[in-house]
Homo-oligomer: A and B are copies of this chain.
Amino acid sequence: MADVRAVRLAALRSVLAARQVDGMLISSLANIRYLTGFSGSNALLVVGPADSVLLTDFRYQTQVVDEVGDLVPVRVESKSLWNGLWEALPAMVGLERLGFESAHLPHRDFDRLLEHGRRWRWQATLDVIEGLREKKDSGELASIRRAAEIGADAFARTLAGVRVGMTELQLCGLLEHSLRDSGSEAHPFPPIVASGPRTALPHARASSRAIALGDFLLLDFGATHGGYCSDITRTVVVGRSNERQREVYAAVLEANEESRRFVRAGMRGCDADAIARDVLEKAGFGEAFGHGLGHGIGLDVHEAPRLSRVSETPLPSGAVVTIEPGVYLVGWGGVRIEDDIVVQDGEAELLTMIPRELIELL
């Protein structure tokens, strides 16, 4: 069986040829992991028409061999990766015009290209490898599916531990512990644990607020497996719900369900977003849905494609995206229900198998 990474490197070379660059300097760690399997925190990769080189530092000398094998030659640098780059580049074959990742190269490093890399012509590029990453292969889908299962398992353990009077930070600790116990390699983002009126803050961090009877409790968290993320939100009520809570919850749930039912490959991101937005506008909550419907997930927890009012790009079959409508009423509270789906030609495949009816923790 062909190494999937070799297939990806070949796909990249085709795209580069079509853009009339000879090769590319890759500085995004997620893109480097996608192409080579290397998961360290410091690396540069050059892919040329005939050969490639991966540079990292001495901290990763054992790990890089384990992860990359003989896919591409590796240089382990004791000082700056950039010194190594200027030594390695002249030996590479057929490189004259090189792309670089405009979104992932700080100006300081761009300056290095101008200063030490005058011998080559440098072309700013955007979203080249991100484009390849949109459509997931079967191995990637298996990893995300597993990350979603880990998240579901951890959520069930966490709910069982919620107590009135606990702080959001304590519950966040329990959630993180549950995620690790369920097998998550890493937290793709710091979990959001918000209670009561703080659920109206779409990006609340856990605070020292004590959870009270009657509160909405919102948990937004993810798991990681094989480098791939899940991203899940559930909102529950601590104790008995009141009528207003049920009304807002029902509207968000309907927006979630309609979106999951009707999102299709080929649809533009803005049209997907409109499915949920229409439901919430009809329920009188249009203004209270202040963010987009969702985003791609994969090696990054936010990646292409986007499901938002401004995204004109069609969704490809095989993309994995979140469906996360929300309603936020400042001073009162908010509800978000977030699932992960695989976009297909027919109805999407649901990855997050977690109940969606309003849970009352009694």
Residues of A near any B CB (own CB < 8 A): 40-41, 58-60, 62-63, 79, 100, 102-108, 110-111, 124, 126, 169-170, 172-174, 176-181, 183-187, 190, 200-203, 205-206, 208, 290-291, 310, 330
User: Closest chain B residue to A58 by CB distance?
Assistant: B290
Closest to A207 in B: B185
Kindly provide the distance from the CB of A172 to the nearest chain B CB, expressed in whole angstroms: 5
Contact of A106 among B105, B208, B330 (CB under 8 A): B105
Is the CB–CB distance between B202 and A59 below 8 Å? yes
Closest to A126 in B: B108
Distance of A224 from chain B, by nearest CB (Å): 10
Please give me the 9 A-B residue pairs with the lowest Cβ-Cβ distance, nearest first. Answer: A173-B180, A177-B177, A173-B177, A102-B108, A176-B176, A102-B107, A107-B110, A103-B108, A59-B203
Contact B62 A201 (CB under 8 A): yes
> Which residues on B sit within 8 Å (CB–CB) of A79?
310
Which chain B residues border A110 with CB–CB below 8 Å?
A: 107, 110
Q: Contacts A173-B179, A178-B173 known; A106 to B104 CB distance under 8 Å?
A: yes
- Distance in angstroms from A40 CB to nearest chain B CB is 7
Residues on B with C-beta less than 8 A from A104 are 106
User: Which residues of chain B are within 8 angstroms of A172 by Cβ–Cβ distance?
Assistant: 180
Q: Give the docked Cα–Cα distance between A7 and B40 (Å).
A: 39
Number of copies: 2
Cβ–Cβ < 8 Å partners of A186 in chain B: 190, 205
Task: Determine the distance from Cα of A169 to Cα of B187 in the docked complex, in whole angstroms.
Answer: 12
What is the bound-complex CA distance between A190 and B179, given in angstroms?
A: 13
15 other A-B residue contacts (CB within 8 Å) besides A103-B107, A169-B181, A186-B190: A40-B203, A59-B201, A62-B201, A102-B106, A103-B108, A106-B107, A107-B107, A107-B110, A108-B124, A108-B126, A169-B183, A169-B185, A173-B179, A174-B177, A187-B187
Q: Are A187 and B185 in contact (CB under 8 A)?
A: no
Complex contacts, A206 vs chain B, CB 8 Å: 180, 185
Q: Is the CB of B111 within 8 A of A124?
A: yes
**Chain B nearest CB: distance from A333 CB in Å?**
13
The closest CB in chain B to the CB of A291 belongs to B59
**Which residues from chain B contact A179 at a C-beta distance below 8 Å?**
173
Q: B residues within 8 A CB of A60?
A: 203
Distance of A64 Cα from B280 Cα, bound (Å): 27
CB distance from A91 to the nearest CB of B (A): 26
Complex Cα–Cα for A187 and B291 (A): 26
CA distance A192 to B209 in the complex (A): 29
CB distance from A153 to the nearest CB of B (A): 13
A172 vs B208: C-alpha distance when bound (angstroms):
22
Determine the distance from Cα of A169 to Cα of B181 in the docked complex, in whole angstroms: 7
Least CB distance from A288 to B in Å reads 11
A77 to chain B, nearest CB (A): 12
